[in-house]
Structure 1
Amino acid sequence: MSLHIFGTILTPHGVAANNRGENEGNLSTLQKLLWNGEVHSTVSGEAIRYALRETWMEDHENLLNRKIKSEGFDWQDETFKNRIVIWMIRF
């Protein structure tokens, strides 16, 4: 038995520039596909991961439950009631 997981990630960042394709200077040729009679650009897995890393680095204080100090941790919510879970799935 196999598990197939599908998902859509919408990002406000311009991730298409990190897509795979031919490169001419600072211009990139984007991969395109025809879907429902319309042309759409594809976004690579690397571009999605890059956008997620950028987003999480900008909003790190809301995602971590601790403030990192050199001598230990200072917990923001010791009961973990307002816990945000981020699942990182690697294939």
Structure 2
Amino acid sequence: WKTQAGATAAIAGGGGAFSITLKSGKFSGKRIGSFKVSGANKYTGTITDPETDKTYSGKASVSGASLKMSGCVLGGLICRSQTWHKL
């Protein structure tokens, strides 16, 4: 997967869960996400900002070759999202 910042990331898992590890760039090797199935092509879990090392509640959804993820604070009041594309 190619991140918005231009790095690459690997998604691995099975049994309805997956983790995300950065494979290139400044934070190569860092695990930044853990998600489990919450619906059809929808996932919930946690995502870590590699710059600050803070972990947030997260959601992810897959549509074709795109993965949209968002992390939120304050019970979902403030959220940031990114869309990654499958390589």
For this structure pair, what is the TM-score category when the shorter chain's length is used for normalisation?
under 0.3
Greater CA radius of gyration, 1 or 2?
A: 1
Q: TM-score, normalised by structure 1?
A: 0.25
Which has more strand, going by share of residues? 2
Higher RCO structure, 1 or 2 (CA under 8 Å, sep 6+): 2
